[in-house]
C-alpha cells in the first residue's frame, strides 16, 4: 500500500505532539479508502480508535493479549481487516463525536502517516500527539489543551473571595435632625379622642434619630413604646396638641405643657420626618476597634502611664518599691502584665498589689470590717483579718450615675434641661453642692410640701463662664433629697436590686459567727457618694432596723474618705512588713508568676 510523504521535521517541532499522555496511539479512519486493496476496503466508516501500547488498548477486551507493545501497532494497522472477516476476532471501538473532513493527512511523530484515504495507525511516544493537516491553502488548526496539574490557584481564589465593600451614594441627613426630650401628655396609640377610661397620661418623651420614644420615667432602660418619625407626618391640631402619623398605620396624639415647648416640639419632630431610611442601613466595617471590656485594664497602655508618673515625681524607678492599688482582685494574666511593665521595663525594686477596698480599710487603721465603697458603682466587701471573704462580696453596676439620672429628671420637671454628657457635668456639680440624704424620707417629704422655701436652695453656675442662654442659677427643693433616696428605697429608681442596707446585712451574715457582733460596729465608708450630708447617719439608722436586738451598730465615716484608697496605700507602704509582703525584683525574675502565691489568702 503506498504511504504518503511524512514531514519528519514538522513532526519534531510541532508542540501539539507533546500534549497526549504517555504511549498513546491514535488511529484515524475516514470515508475515503482508495489506497486499500479492493478486498480490504471497509464497507462503512470506522470511528476513532485509541490503544495503549502496554495494556492492549482502550476499548479492547480483557481477554486480549497483554504482551502487545509499541512495535505491534504498525502490524495491527497493516493486518487490519473488516470486522466481519478474518479470524473472527472483533475489536470494540470507542465512539467519538469527532468526524474528520475528507482528504486529510495524518502525521505522527514516529513517521507513521495516513493520507485520509485509507487506514493507517501509529504508536506515539511520551508527550506525542497527532497533527491533522488540511488541504493546501486552508489554515492549520491545532487543538491544544491546558495542563493545570501543577498550577497554584491561590491567586484567583484570593481574587474571587476578596473582601470589598460596594460604593454607597447615599447622603446621610441625620445631622439635620433636632433631638429633644421632655415631658408631654399622650393618648393611647391610635386613639384620637379621650374617653373616661383612656385619658391623657403624662410620659417622658425623647425624639432621636428619626424615632420618638416614650417612657414611664426617664430612668427606664427600655422605652414603653416607640413610633417612627421618618417618612411620617406631624399635624398641629391646636391647643398645644400634635398628631403624629407614621404613615404605616400608627397614630399618636400628644399634648405639650406650654406654648413655648409646643413650638420647640413642632420644630424637632418635623425635622425628623425627612426620609433618611437608606442611610440607616447597617454598614459593615472592614476593620473595627476592639471593644473594651468592663472592669478591665489596658495593660499595653500602663507602661506609658507608669513612666509618666516617675517622670512627674522626678525619681529613678530602680530606687523605689511600688504600692499598686487595684480596683478588684485581678487574675494572674493581668498581674503578670503589670509586673512586666514595672519590673522588666522600668526595673523597680519591687511591687505590692492590693485591692483598693482593702486599702480603704487600712485608712481606718483596721484589718477587719465591712467596706462600703460607693463611687460610679457600689462595692461591698467583708474583710476579716486582712483577707476578703469572697462569699459576701457584692458589686452593683450603679452608684453616682443613678443619683444624677434621678436629679436630671427632677430638674426637667422644673424646666431645667441637661441632655449632653458635657451638661451632665453640671448636674454632677449640682448634686455635690446641694443634695443630701434625709434621715427619715417620709416626714422630710411632707415638710418639703408644707414649707418648700425652707428646703429650696440655689446653685450658682455663672462662675463657670457658660455661653449666653445657659442657666446661671438652678433652684430646686424636693429633688435635693429625693435623688439619692434610691440607695435605701430602690422603687424610686424602678430597680430590682436589693437595697444598700440589705447588701450590707448579707455581707455580715457571711462572716464567722463569733465575729458578726464586731462587724455590726465596723462598717466603713469610702467613695464620693458617701460624702453626701446625712448618708452615714441614714445608713446607720437603716442597719439598726436589721441588726439583732441589743447589738449596737456603728458606721464610720472618715473626713478624707473620698481618697480612702490612696490614704490606705500610703499607710501600708509605711508599715515595716511592707517589703516582705511585696514581690522583689529578684523574686520575680527567679519565680515569675509563682511568686503571686505570696498575695493569696491562707487556706
**Span 161-200, pLDDT tens digits:** 776 666 767 777 877 888 888 888 989 888 888 776 678 8
pLDDT given at position 205: 87
How far is residue 432's CA from residue 430's CA, in Å, rounded to a whole number?
A: 6
**Span 471-498, pLDDT tens digits:** 889 999 999 999 999 999 988 888 878 8
Mean pLDDT score of the chain: 76
How far is residue 276's CA from residue 268's CA, in Å, rounded to a whole number?
A: 15
- Nearest one of 412, 429, 495, 494 to 463, comparing CA atoms: 429
User: Is the pTM value of this prediction over 0.75?
Assistant: no
Q: What is the 3-state secondary structure (H, E, C) of 279-336?
A: HHCCCCCCCCCCCCCCCCCCHHHHHHHHHHHHHHHCCCHHHCEEEEEECCCCCHHHHH
Pairing state of beta strands 180-186 and 251-255?
antiparallel
- Nearest one of 80, 169, 175, 179 to 122, comparing CA atoms: 80
Contact of 408 with 418, CB cutoff 8 Å = yes
- Quote the longest CA-to-CA distance of the chain: 136
For residue 551 the three cell numbers come to: 447589738
Go through 29-51 and write b for each residue having 16 or more CB atoms within 10 A of its CB, e for each that does not.
bbebbebeeeebebeeebebbbb
- Nearest one of 55, 49, 107, 117 to 83, comparing CA atoms: 49
Q: Is 102 left (phi over 0), alpha (psi -120 to 50) or beta?
A: beta
Contact of 539 with 523, CB cutoff 8 Å = yes
For residue 66 the three cell numbers come to: 497483554
Q: Is 417 left (phi over 0), alpha (psi -120 to 50) or beta?
A: beta
Strand partners, 328: none
Strand partners, 394: 380
- Taking residue 388's Cβ as centre, other Cβ atoms within 10 Å add up to 19
370 pLDDT exceeds 90? yes
How much is the average pLDDT of 461-476?
Answer: 86
| Least confident among 96-100, 134-138, 477-481, 566-570 | 96-100
- Nearest one of 216, 258, 282, 276 to 491, comparing CA atoms: 216
How far is residue 594's CA from residue 603's CA, in Å, rounded to a whole number?
A: 17
pLDDT given at position 320: 92
For residue 413 the three cell numbers come to: 420637671
pLDDT given at position 165: 67
How much is the average pLDDT of 125-129?
Answer: 42
Helices (H), strands (E): how many in the chain?
18, 24
Side-chain-side CA neighbours of residue 384 (13 Å): 20
Contact of 457 with 413, CB cutoff 8 Å = no
pLDDT given at position 215: 83
pLDDT given at position 284: 60
55 pLDDT exceeds 70? no
Q: Which element (helix H / strand E) includes 226?
A: strand 225-228
Report in angstroms the alpha-carbon separations of 452 from 440, 446, 457.
17, 10, 10
**Span 338-355, pLDDT tens digits:** 999 999 999 999 999 988
Amino acid at each position: 500500500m503506498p504511504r504518503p510523504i511524512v514531514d519528519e521535521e514538522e513532526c519534531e517541532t510541532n508542540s501539539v505532539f507533546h500534549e497526549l499522555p504517555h504511549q498513546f496511539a491514535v488511529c484515524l479512519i475516514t470515508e475515503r479508502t482508495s489506497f486499500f486493496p479492493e478486498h480490504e476496503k471497509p464497507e462503512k466508516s470506522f470511528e476513532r480508535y485509541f490503544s495503549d501500547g502496554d495494556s492492549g488498548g482502550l476499548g479492547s477486551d480483557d481477554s486480549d493479549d497483554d504482551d502487545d507493545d509499541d512495535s505491534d501497532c504498525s502490524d495491527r494497522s497493516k493486518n487490519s481487516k473488516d470486522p466481519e472477516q478474518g479470524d473472527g476476532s472483533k475489536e470494540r471501538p470507542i465512539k467519538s463525536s469527532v468526524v474528520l473532513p475528507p482528504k486529510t493527512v495524518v502525521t505522527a511523530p514516529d513517521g507513521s502517516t495516513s493520507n485520509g484515504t485509507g487506514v493507517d495507525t501509529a504508536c506515539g511516544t511520551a508527550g506525542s500527539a497527532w497533527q491533522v493537516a488540511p488541504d493546501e491553502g486552508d489554515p492549520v488548526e491545532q487543538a491544544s489543551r491546558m495542563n493545570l496539574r501543577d498550577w497554584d490557584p491561590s491567586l484567583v481564589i484570593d481574587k474571587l473571595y476578596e473582601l470589598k465593600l460596594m460604593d454607597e451614594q447615599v447622603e446621610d441627613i441625620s445631622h439635620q435632625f433636632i433631638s429633644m426630650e421632655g415631658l408631654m401628655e399622650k393618648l393611647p396609640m391610635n386613639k384620637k379622642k379621650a374617653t373616661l377610661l383612656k385619658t391623657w397620661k403624662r410620659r417622658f418623651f425623647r425624639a432621636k434619630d428619626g424615632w420618638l420614644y416614650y417612657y414611664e420615667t426617664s430612668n427606664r432602660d427600655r422605652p414603653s413604646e416607640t413610633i417612627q418619625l421618618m417618612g411620617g407626618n406631624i399635624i398641629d391640631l391646636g391647643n398645644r396638641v400634635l398628631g403624629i402619623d407614621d404613615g404605616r398605620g400608627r397614630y399618636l396624639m400628644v399634648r405639650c405643657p406650654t406654648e413655648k415647648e409646643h413650638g420647640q416640639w413642632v420644630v424637632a419632630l418635623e425635622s425628623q420626618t425627612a426620609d433618611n431610611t437608606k442611610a440607616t442601613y447597617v454598614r459593615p466595617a472592614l476593620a473595627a476597634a476592639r471593644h473594651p471590656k468592663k472592669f478591665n485594664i489596658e495593660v499595653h497602655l500602663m507602661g506609658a502611664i507608669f513612666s509618666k508618673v516617675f517622670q512627674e515625681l522626678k525619681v529613678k524607678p530602680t530606687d523605689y518599691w511600688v504600692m499598686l492599688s487595684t480596683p478588684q482582685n485581678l487574675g494572674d494574666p493581668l498581674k503578670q502584665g503589670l509586673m512586666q511593665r514595672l519590673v522588666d521595663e522600668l526595673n523597680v525594686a519591687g511591687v505590692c498589689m492590693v485591692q483598693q477596698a482593702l486599702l480603704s480599710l487600712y485608712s481606718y487603721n483596721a484589718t477587719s470590717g465591712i467596706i462600703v465603697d460607693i463611687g460610679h458603682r457600689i462595692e461591698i466587701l467583708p474583710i476579716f483579718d486582712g483577707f476578703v471573704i469572697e462569699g459576701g462580696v457584692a458589686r452593683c453596676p450603679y452608684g453616682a450615675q443613678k443619683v444624677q439620672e434621678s436629679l436630671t429628671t427632677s430638674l426637667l420637671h422644673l424646666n431645667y434641661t441637661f441632655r449632653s454628657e458635657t451638661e451632665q457635668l453640671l448636674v454632677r456639680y449640682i448634686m455635690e453642692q446641694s443634695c443630701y440624704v434625709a434621715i427619715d424620707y417620709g416626714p422630710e417629704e411632707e415638710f418639703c410640701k408644707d414649707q418648700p422655701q425652707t428646703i429650696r436652695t440655689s446653685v450658682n453656675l455663672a462662675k463657670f463662664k457658660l455661653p449666653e442662654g445657659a442657666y446661671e442659677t438652678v433652684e430646686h427643693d424636693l429633688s435635693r433629697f429625693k435623688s439619692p433616696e434610691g440607695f435605701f428605697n430602690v422603687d424610686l429608681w424602678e430597680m430590682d436590686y436589693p437595697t444598700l442596707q440589705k447588701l450590707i446585712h448579707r455581707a455580715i451574715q457571711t462572716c464567722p459567727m463569733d465575729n458578726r457582733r464586731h462587724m455590726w460596729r465596723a462598717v466603713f465608708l469610702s467613695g464620693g457618694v458617701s460624702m453626701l450630708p446625712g448618708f452615714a447617719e441614714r445608713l446607720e439608722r437603716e442597719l439598726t432596723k436589721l441588726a439583732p436586738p441589743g447589738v449596737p451598730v456603728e458606721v464610720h465615716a472618715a473626713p478624707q474618705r473620698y481618697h480612702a484608697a490612696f490614704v490606705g496605700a500610703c499607710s501600708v507602704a509605711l508599715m515595716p512588713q511592707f517589703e516582705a509582703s511585696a514581690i522583689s525584683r529578684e523574686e520575680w525574675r527567679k519565680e515569675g508568676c509563682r511568686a503571686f502565691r505570696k498575695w493569696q489568702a491562707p487556706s
